[in-house]
Structure 1
Amino acid sequence: MLVCWEPGWRANTLNGPVLSKLPDPRTIIVALVIVSTTIYSAYSPWFVCALGGFAAVMLASATINPNTLVRPSWVAVYLATFAALGTLVFVIPLVWKSTASAFLVLFLQWMWRFSVSAGMGAYAIGVIRPATLQKALASSRIPTCFTIPISVALRVLPVIGHEVKAISDAMKLRGMSALSLRAAQYFTIPLLSTVVRSGDELASAALVRGLGGTAKPTSVTVVKFRVIDAVILLIVISFAIWRIVL
């Protein structure tokens, strides 16, 4: 039995085509685009709360599947951020009425909406596998000059996240504060070195896999439109119609 390992993911047996239990990457991308384009132009706070709840449900559903990078801590951080920003948006005008508070509330309004886009973006990064994304985009007749950079970027982001955590833990062990100028130096340089090294490793892996060749790459994962994709698209299209009607 041949086993293929990918960073951050569990092993896949290559006994035959495997039907992915996750939503189609194209469905996730469409949902991310619709949510990001409608949330910023929405005037109703109920619309923002509804989209925020949708993003929370998507993140929570991803924690059930062990083949994703999404963890319960992601959901907790998202809910805490969304709730805190929403509370400040409604409370500040009641207790502080001035020109400065108006600008502050305007900024918090944008950040409140941005937290929803960030939540959907975290879901996309944690759920979409680079190999599955490349397969889905190739099936949509998208040129490899677009699919390969997107797949590589999606693979680099989790690596950067792990390195940030490792560097932060090392700084804490040495008693360094994350807010000092010296800490910024000790944080930035190792992180940049790690990103450069990871880029070289990914480029070598791409050459080994023959991604620069003319032959069409194969995949052990079957990507197809399923009921879960129809449900997600129906929900986000309903949000888009709601935004237009409002």
Structure 2
Amino acid sequence: MPSRPGLDPRTKIIAVIAVSAAVMSAGGGRFIAAGLLLAVGLAVWERAWRRAVVLPLFVGASAALAFWVPLVRPHPALGAVATGSFLGLRFAVALGVGMHLIATTSPTQLSAAFRAWRIPRGITVSTSVMLRFLPLVATEATAVLDAMRLRGLTGLRAMLRHPILAIERFTVPLIASSLRVGEDLAASAMLRGLGSPHRPTSMTPPRFGGRDATFALVVAALAAGSVLLSPGPA
């Protein structure tokens, strides 16, 4: 989590929904540049320099495949690649904004935001557990791969010689460790009172502030500029 104060979790959730709806709509091509600027700006704000560099490069390469390559060499296969690239750069812009939400919002903050919205407890608890479970499973998968690598059980040769055995050597330890992680999370959830009928309190309740208002103005300006400067729907 970044040390500097950030946006309210509800602001970030609304931004993800708004950007996703804008770029994935029928005329969403006009909002891609604005969404990319927003995603890169959020990455720079949280000092995620790798994302701030990789995201524009990926969107630029996808845009080149989508618009430039079919014009240089028309071909049905290239047309299919262009269509996939155009959808990919839309998803990349929406994902770039969503990664800011994931990287800067803890499950506790997200739960507090959901409670402030009066979202049902089942959705709140399920989302909080998912956000805690997936990173732990990814860590366990890395540990299993490291253990297999130390024993010489990974690599293309081992996969081609015994593919079923290689998959089994990876999935069985991962399932066992995932079950252990699930039990630990269940115990932690009980200690935190997630199953209690009482409404829990938050040490830092979500509140809209000046940063959220400034962010809303920036998003509105980018959306207005995209509409005014765009020649038409894309």
Smaller-chain TM-score range? Answer: 0.7 to 0.9
Range moving further from structure 2, 155-164 or 175-184: 175-184
Partners of 1:35 and 1:129 lie apart in 2 by 21
Work out the CA distance in 1 between the residues paired with 2:147 and 2:72: 42
Residue 66 of structure 1 is matched in structure 2 by: none
Structure 2 spans left out of the alignment, 5+ residues: none
- The equivalent residue for 1:122 is 99
Q: Does 1:60 align with 2:15?
A: no
Give the number of aligned pairs: 223
In the other structure, the counterpart of 1:106 is 83
What's the Cα RMSD here?
A: 3.0
Aligned to 1:21: 5
Normalised to the residue count of structure 2, the TM-score between the two structures is 0.80
Structure 2 residue 119 is matched with structure 1 residue 153: no
Mean Cα deviation higher: 120-129 or 43-52:
43-52
Following superposition, the deviation at residue 51 of structure 1 comes to 0.9
Q: State the SS of the aligned residue for 1:222.
A: coil
Alpha carbons of structure 1 residues 86 and 136: separation in structure 2 relative to 1, 3 Å = same
Q: What residue is the counterpart of 2:187 in the other structure? A: 204
What SS is found at the alignment partner of 2:132?
helix
Contact 2:30/2:227 (8 A) holds in 1: no
Q: Which has the higher helix share?
A: 2
Tell me the CA shift for residue 185 of structure 1.
4.3
1:176 correspondence with 2:154: yes
Scaled by the length of structure 1, the TM-score of the pair is 0.76
The corresponding residue for 2:216 is: 233
CA distance in 2 between partners of 1:204 and 1:172 (Å) = 32
**Which range is displaced more, 93-102 or 160-169?**
160-169
Contact 1:38-1:240 within 8 A present in 2 as well: no
Distance in 1 between residues matched to 2:64 and 2:26, nearest whole Å? 18
Preserved contact between residue 171 and residue 177 of structure 1 (Cα < 8 Å): no
Moved more, 82-91 or 20-29: 82-91
Name 2:22's counterpart in structure 1: 38
Q: Which residue of 2 aligns with 1:214?
A: 197
Report percent identity of matched pairs.
31
Q: Which has the larger radius of gyration?
A: 2
